[in-house]
Amino acid sequence: MEYKIEKKKAPGRGQVEVLGATFEEGKPEGEDAGKWRQKLEGREEKLKYLQSGERYWYGKDWYGSEKRKNPA
């Protein structure tokens, strides 16, 4: 992979070299791309998949901005 180096102006330093994007663009391929429902067996397995992906809403063990670890 060839890296793109960009030259940008930095405050107090003049021109500096900055590393550009380092990812390779990709697109899903094939007929089954994005069909996660067909890959999972039952209702419980689908719910577990969704809850693990949305643990911010469904999780009981997180301490986000809405919940405190130690009560005030």
Q: Under a CB-based contact definition with an 8 Å cutoff, are residues 6 and 20 in contact? A: yes
Report which residue type is found at 28: P
Q: What is the pLDDT of residue 9?
A: 92
Q: What is the pLDDT of residue 49?
A: 85
5 or 25: which leads in pLDDT: 5
48 pLDDT exceeds 80?
yes
Residue 6 to residue 10: CA distance in whole angstroms:
12
56 pLDDT exceeds 60?
yes
Q: What is the pLDDT of residue 1?
A: 63
CB atoms near residue 50 (< 10 Å)? 14
Element housing 17 (H / E): strand 14-19
| Block residue for tokens 């719910």 | 47
Q: What is the mean pLDDT of the segment spanning 6-34?
A: 84
11 or 51: which leads in pLDDT: 11
